[in-house]
């Protein structure tokens, strides 16, 4: 197979970049969601942002980031309030309250999308579910050296710029508030007693989650957003007990599944002789899960196979002494 460099740089490189950035910006906050047993907030967010994005698009008439982001944040906020209200008044578990709200919001998003003719312009339901990673194109790249040129920077696709900014912001928020996040995740009561309100940190985390979900949603679709919130963090959790190394590892796993998934989807079929590509977002989710599966079994301390070996060793010890 012969792939011209310019094609790779214009078609595959931007898609790879988007996949990796989306993985990073969802994977990093995902660590805290997994540790706080709030993974499904990521699931809920990825559904809830749809009506917000659609309304933001309809009101502003443009596909700019800011109105869509505001719409999505508004939708996320309304949902959080509704979930709390239903949970308290209805005396039901938080999961059920969440289920009521996010299905309703998603259905509302679908309805508005189909009824207003917004679909087909840029947004449609399939796009919302599995994104359009493949259609991210970066014209003006013919050589590796072009990446640094101002010309290429101006032609950089909006989704890369958007995701890059959000990823940077998420990264800095986590670095700056690392201590607070850590303490409020593992011991919220102590965090509050030390003077920083664990509740505000929770709300802050939800805002970060919503922002990441919106930024990634447009590029990679809701399904990959969920996968990236949960899988890299859950995978990293199998390998380490330290939060800082978990964050680092989850970033590595996110990058690995993003790039590997895209490459397999884009080039796998060609290698087998077919002339089409598979869906990249889906493949990335699958690769992320395969990495997690391998880790759940073979990780040294927390994998089932590692534990099994340890147990056997422990059982053999008395006889050998």
Asked if 43 interacts with other proteins (CB under 8 A), we say: yes
- State the binding string over 87-106 for other proteins (x if CB under 8 A, else -): --xxxxx-xxxxxx--xx-x
Among 19, 166, 201, 283, binds other proteins (CB under 8 A): 283
Q: How far apart are CA 148 and CA 297, in angstroms?
A: 43
Other beta carbons within 10 Å of 304: 12
Query: 138 or 229: whose CB is closer to other proteins?
Result: 229
> Residue 119's beta-bridge partner residues?
123
The SS3 assignment for 119 reads strand
Q: Mark the segment that binds other proteins (CB under 8 A) among 4-12, 70-78, 122-130, 149-157.
A: 122-130
Look at the block and give the residue holding tokens 């922002």: 211
Other beta carbons within 10 Å of 125: 13
Query: 42 or 71: whose CB is closer to other proteins?
Result: 42
Asked if 216 interacts with other proteins (CB under 8 A), we say: no
Taken in order 217, 220, 223, 226, is the CA torsion positive or negative?
negative
Outline where the chain has alpha helix (H): 5-7, 13-35, 39-60, 65-90, 94-115, 125-130, 150-154, 158-176, 178-186, 188-193, 198-239, 243-271, 280-298, 304-320
Q: How far apart are CA 29 and CA 42, in angstroms?
A: 10
Asked if 245 interacts with other proteins (CB under 8 A), we say: no
Rounded to the nearest whole angstrom, what is the least distance from the CB of residue 191 to other proteins in the complex?
Answer: 20
Asked if 273 interacts with other proteins (CB under 8 A), we say: no
Query: 39 or 167: whose CB is closer to other proteins?
Result: 39
- Can you give the binding site for other proteins, defined by CB under 8 A? 34, 37-40, 42-43, 85-86, 89-93, 95-100, 103-104, 106-108, 110-111, 114-115, 125-126, 129-130, 223-224, 226-227, 229-231, 234, 237-238, 265, 274, 276-279, 281-286, 288-289, 292, 296, 302-304
């Amino acid at each position: 197979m012969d792939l011209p460099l310019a094609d790779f740089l214009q078609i595959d490189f931007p898609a790879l970049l988007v996949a990796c950035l989306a993985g990073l910006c969802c994977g990093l906050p995902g660590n805290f969601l997994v540790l706080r047993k709030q993974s499904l907030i990521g699931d809920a967010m990825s559904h809830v942002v749809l009506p917000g994005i659609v309304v933001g698009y309809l009101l502003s008439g443009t596909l700019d980031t800011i109105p869509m982001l505001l719409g999505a944040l508004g939708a996320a906020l309304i949902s959080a309030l509704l979930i709390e209200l239903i949970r308290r008044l209805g005396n039901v578990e938080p999961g059920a309250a969440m289920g009521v709200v996010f299905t309703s919001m998603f259905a509302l998003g679908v309805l508005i999308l189909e009824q207003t003719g917004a679909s087909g312009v840029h947004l449609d339901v399939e796009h919302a579910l599995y994104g359009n990673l493949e259609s991210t194109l970066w014209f003006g790249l013919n050589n590796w050296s072009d990446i640094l040129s101002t010309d290429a920077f101006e032609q950089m696709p909006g989704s890369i710029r958007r995701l890059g900014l959000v990823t940077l912001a998420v990264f800095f928020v986590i670095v700056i508030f690392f201590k607070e996040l850590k303490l409020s995740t593992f011991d919220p009561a102590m965090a509050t007693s030390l003077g920083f309100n664990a509740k505000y940190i929770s709300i802050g985390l939800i805002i970060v989650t919503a922002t990441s979900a919106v930024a990634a949603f447009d590029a990679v679709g809701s399904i990959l957003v969920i996968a990236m919130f949960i899988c890299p963090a859950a995978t990293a959790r199998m390998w380490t007990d330290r939060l800082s190394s978990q964050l680092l590892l989850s970033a590595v796993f996110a990058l690995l599944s993003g790039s590997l998934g895209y490459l397999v989807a884009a080039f796998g079929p060609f290698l087998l002789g077919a002339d089409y590509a598979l869906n990249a977002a889906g493949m990335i989710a699958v690769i992320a899960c395969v990495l997690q599966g391998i880790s759940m079994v073979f990780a040294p301390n927390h994998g089932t196979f590692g534990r099994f070996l340890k147990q056997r060793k422990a059982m053999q010890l008395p006889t050998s002494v």
